[in-house]
Structure 1
Amino acid sequence: MEIINFIVFQVLSQPSILLGVVALVGLLMQKRPMNQVVMGTLKTIIGVLIIGGGAGIVGNSLAPLGVILNAGIGINGIIPTNEAVLPFAIANFGSMGALVMVGGFIMNLILARVTKFKFIYLTGHVMLYVSLFVTAIYVSLANLSGAMLFIVGSVTMGIYFTFMPALLNPYTKKITGGEAFTIGHTGDIGYWFSAWLGKYIGKPEQSAEKFKLPKSLSFFRDSTASMAITMVVIFLIAVLITGYSYVEQNISKEMNPFMFAIIQGLTFAGGVTIVLAGVRMMLSEIIPAFSGISEKIIPGAIPAIDCPAVFPYAPTALIFGFVSMFIGMIIGMFIQFGINSVYIILPGIVPAFFAGGTAGIFGNSTGGWKGAIVGPFIVGIVLTIGTGYLIPSTGALANTGSTFGDPFYATIGLAFAKLIALFN
């Protein structure tokens, strides 16, 4: 079991190492010169680490915004964040969750080899989150354990790892202009819905990236500048809503609250810029390297990687989706009050950015700027309400004050939990 734990928690759950191994294997299979193998492997790992570093900066810059806004709203609830629930999930279901993840990944490779769905799920940390979630549901609602839990869980995860990326692949190709990768992330159902809805509410040629601006505002065409200004304004508004004195006493401490807002907004833009640089480095190495695996082991194989991979293709739509989904989550929270929900889900800034922003990119690909706004807004409402209904089904995790926080869990995950409960 120690070997399995090492493979899961030290290798497969580390995106940089997992993708580095994939690049190494692919380059070796292509019989590239050793210098190219070493360089391609290292640049892949470093590119993913850069993405992670940038994502960490983004998350840290957004964290105070959530605190400020939730204090302004004056509600004590649960913020849906995968990272917050992870320690509790590992403590309660970690050993079997690790086995289920490994079994699911093996099933994914087999299905990709023998079916027409050639997608290999490579977003390691997301694989771990979903495996722990599925294990928690089977244990809590179906009372499965031992070998039966491993077999059923592995088959479930193999199906998920194979077919959810297939759902997104047509839209990912449209976004990227045919690049040989798709997205593997638990924002998946929100991405698909936004792209599907976009076809009916807008036109792709009216892209958020094509907004015409006067020369005096032309700096908004630069993604870094537009993100910086947008986030600075959002932070300043949040400070005004919550109150200068509260922010000064509880959050900004020795820094002037308005200066704090400006710095946090600029830090966010810096983090996203780092993410984009890492994405470009990683894609430039992993796609050619993966062709070795595609040619030798699984003909036609396509990697499913983390959602930041599409950020460079529509950075304005990213911001539209982020803001829109966050507003939707606020609306969803107030709907929960109206329906007397037992668990009140607070707007989560991090899922709003990574799930909502990416949903904006997918919606923009089919419905232009309208698709970038409407789909994520609806997804934000559904995520909030659905997550509230999901919590009681998560067994030992229900009383931890944390929960899984992406559209998959609040939609397909919720339906999965209700179906398992129905038959037990």
Structure 2
Amino acid sequence: MEILNTIFTFISNNILTKAELFVGLIVLVGYILLGKKWYETLAGFIKAVVGYMILTVGSNGLITTFRPILSGLNQKFNLNAVVIDPYFGLNAVNAALENIGLSAAWTMTSLLLAFIWNIILLIFRKYTKLRTLLLTGHIMVQQATTVTWIVFLFIPQLRNIWGAVAVGILVGTYQAVFSNLTVEPTDRLTDGEGGFAIGHQQMFAIWLADKLAPKLGKKEDSIENLKLPGFLQMFSDNVVSTSVLMFVFFGIIMVVLGEDFMRGIDDTFTATTAFPFYIFSKALSFTVYLNVLQAGVRMFVAELTESFKGISDKLLPGAIPAVDCAVSYGFAPANAVTVGFFCGAIGQFLAIAGLLVFHSPVMIIAGFVPLFFDNASIAVYANHRGGVKAAVILSFCSGIIQVLGGALCAALLQLVAFGGWHGNFDFSTIFLAVSYVVKYLKVPGVIICVIAMLIIPQIQYRRSDKEKYFTVGQEEE
């Protein structure tokens, strides 16, 4: 058992949790199976790894630059609130596990078992009707860690290897089933050219947005078709609109926090820099990191979708890679991302105000990752199916759901004292329900949740065009 744990730990630490190497390895194997020349295979591997690293630079830049500004509200006004952000949630869960005398190493075992279970579900796709393999390493870590706490909290007798198995099956089923729901929406978004699905934290939200958007607006009224009058035409340019909007949005927050406070939390705010210029620079860095992220996406997705045909043909017939939600941004009007972020933020802040007004026992602070990645993704898919109206309404509603669902989850899972909760849309909805089921039904509850999720692709298959079901999302030759 100790040898197996050592192997699990090595694979988890060096491959599964290193998203760029994980994706690069998938590309490498895919090109080998396609019979590519060795130098073409090596070139594809390098471009995939570098592309993902560029994406990570953009993503981490957004997170590390703007998360402290939002969490600073908590610190400045002594709100003693929960930050809804998967990284804050990760720290909170790890602290909670340590508080009950358990090591976070259990989560790495659960992570590997979840990935293996995802593969098994694909091998038996004839029966499971599942088509997607989730490859987003850092997301896998966050989900395995959060669900480990849910199971270990409510079922103390499973605080062992059997608990890790239960978590692995629960998480692996969620990843396979809900990434599978994004296949058709992503195929529509990319006009059949993407060759990927989404494997992130808002897969249910993407499916929901794809279904609801046509009922809320018209596809023809897409953000890219908006005709702005006069000087407002400059906002048709994504760089300009994003920069101006972020200057106003984060500028207001930074002014509220104050110059002295910002100097205390940001080492890059030098003594020689005036506060207005600091705010302006920070706002523009949002645009910079967003464009860096999109550049990385274009590079690694091109290699992944081409190489994955080798895996799909030889190892896991018909499998579709489920990757970071940011890959979808390259297939949408650039301003859709900004609209999603802004409208989601309004929804979150309105919901937080509601918590204050009604004296909620749990206060919430907006976390950047759900605020940006969830709502931007929802807007991208909603805009494609229902235009700007759908993008605005659905990302706004998502912001409200993230806050209210996050407050319920933080209280239910006893994480208020540790200051963080996962926060993303699916964890404020799907896993809120899972938490209640597991709390009251224990082990049978875990089994019921897995079975309930496995029924979803059966319904999906029956309502689909069965002749095309297993070919949708496959990149054309």
Q: TM-score range by the shorter chain?
A: over 0.9
The answer as to 2:157 corresponding to 1:138 is no
Q: Which amino acid counterpart does residue 241 of structure 2 have in structure 1?
A: S
**Pairing partner for 1:184 from 199, 210, 213:** 199
The answer as to 2:168 corresponding to 1:154 is yes
Q: Which amino acid counterpart does residue 432 of structure 2 have in structure 1?
A: L
Task: Tell whether the 8 Å contact from 2:82 to 2:410 is kept in structure 1 after alignment.
Answer: no
Match for residue 107 of structure 1? 117
Match for residue 119 of structure 1? 132
Q: TM-score when scaled to structure 2? A: 0.83
Once the two structures are overlaid, the 10-residue window that deviates more, 188-197 or 106-115, is 188-197
Task: Tell whether the 8 Å contact from 1:15 to 1:125 is kept in structure 2 after alignment.
Answer: yes
Cα gap change, 1:87/1:4 in structure 2, threshold over 3 Å: closer, same or farther?
Answer: farther
Task: Tell whether the 8 Å contact from 1:8 to 1:102 is kept in structure 2 after alignment.
Answer: yes
Once residues 132 and 249 of structure 1 are traced to their aligned partners in structure 2, the CA distance between those partners, rounded to angstroms, is 32
Cα gap change, 1:139/1:70 in structure 2, threshold over 3 Å: closer, same or farther?
Answer: closer
Match for residue 297 of structure 1? 315
The answer as to 2:224 corresponding to 1:209 is yes
Cα gap change, 1:312/1:72 in structure 2, threshold over 3 Å: closer, same or farther?
Answer: farther
Once the two structures are overlaid, the 10-residue window that deviates more, 308-317 or 41-50, is 308-317
Q: Which amino acid counterpart does residue 154 of structure 2 have in structure 1?
A: L
**Residue 71 of structure 1: how far off its partner (Å):** 7.4
Task: Tell whether the 8 Å contact from 1:248 to 1:256 is kept in structure 2 after alignment.
Answer: no
Once residues 417 and 258 of structure 2 are traced to their aligned partners in structure 1, the CA distance between those partners, rounded to angstroms, is 32
Q: Which amino acid counterpart does residue 17 of structure 2 have in structure 1?
A: S
The answer as to 2:62 corresponding to 1:20 is no
Task: Tell whether the 8 Å contact from 1:68 to 1:239 is kept in structure 2 after alignment.
Answer: no
**Residue 235 of structure 1: how far off its partner (Å):** 2.8
| 1:10-49 correspondence runs (5 A) | 10-49=14-53
**Pairing partner for 1:166 from 180, 192, 196:** 180
The answer as to 2:341 corresponding to 1:326 is no
Q: CA RMSD in A?
A: 2.2
Cα gap change, 1:100/1:368 in structure 2, threshold over 3 Å: closer, same or farther?
Answer: same
Task: Tell whether the 8 Å contact from 2:82 to 2:419 is kept in structure 1 after alignment.
Answer: yes
**Pairing partner for 1:54 from 42, 58, 73:** 58
**Residue 301 of structure 1: how far off its partner (Å):** 0.9
Once residues 261 and 167 of structure 2 are traced to their aligned partners in structure 1, the CA distance between those partners, rounded to angstroms, is 47
Once residues 119 and 84 of structure 1 are traced to their aligned partners in structure 2, the CA distance between those partners, rounded to angstroms, is 28
Once residues 73 and 332 of structure 1 are traced to their aligned partners in structure 2, the CA distance between those partners, rounded to angstroms, is 18
Task: Tell whether the 8 Å contact from 1:141 to 1:393 is kept in structure 2 after alignment.
Answer: no
Cα gap change, 1:261/1:98 in structure 2, threshold over 3 Å: closer, same or farther?
Answer: same
Q: Which amino acid counterpart does residue 295 of structure 2 have in structure 1?
A: A
Once residues 100 and 405 of structure 1 are traced to their aligned partners in structure 2, the CA distance between those partners, rounded to angstroms, is 21
The answer as to 2:251 corresponding to 1:236 is yes
**Pairing partner for 2:107 from 84, 97, 110:** 97
Q: Which amino acid counterpart does residue 198 of structure 1 have in structure 2?
A: A
Structure 2: 5+ residue stretches without partners? 98-102, 443-477
**Residue 146 of structure 1: how far off its partner (Å):** 2.6
Match for residue 9 of structure 1? 13
**Residue 414 of structure 1: how far off its partner (Å):** 0.8
Once residues 72 and 107 of structure 2 are traced to their aligned partners in structure 1, the CA distance between those partners, rounded to angstroms, is 35
Q: Which amino acid counterpart does residue 381 of structure 2 have in structure 1?
A: F
Q: Which amino acid counterpart does residue 19 of structure 1 have in structure 2?
A: V
Match for residue 424 of structure 2? 406
Once residues 13 and 196 of structure 1 are traced to their aligned partners in structure 2, the CA distance between those partners, rounded to angstroms, is 33
**Pairing partner for 1:369 from 374, 388, 402:** 388
- CA deviations over 1:378-403 (Å, ceiling 9, x no partner): 111111111111123435x5521122
Q: Sequence identity of aligned pairs in percent?
A: 27
Q: Secondary structure at the match of 2:84?
A: coil
- Runs of 4+ aligned structure 1 residues displaced above 6 Å come to 71-74
Cα gap change, 1:146/1:76 in structure 2, threshold over 3 Å: closer, same or farther?
Answer: closer
Once residues 109 and 384 of structure 1 are traced to their aligned partners in structure 2, the CA distance between those partners, rounded to angstroms, is 34
Match for residue 210 of structure 2? 195
Task: Tell whether the 8 Å contact from 1:219 to 1:225 is kept in structure 2 after alignment.
Answer: yes
Once residues 67 and 100 of structure 1 are traced to their aligned partners in structure 2, the CA distance between those partners, rounded to angstroms, is 30
**Pairing partner for 2:408 from 385, 389, 399:** 389
Once residues 245 and 159 of structure 1 are traced to their aligned partners in structure 2, the CA distance between those partners, rounded to angstroms, is 48
Once residues 261 and 319 of structure 2 are traced to their aligned partners in structure 1, the CA distance between those partners, rounded to angstroms, is 53
Q: Which amino acid counterpart does residue 47 of structure 1 have in structure 2?
A: G
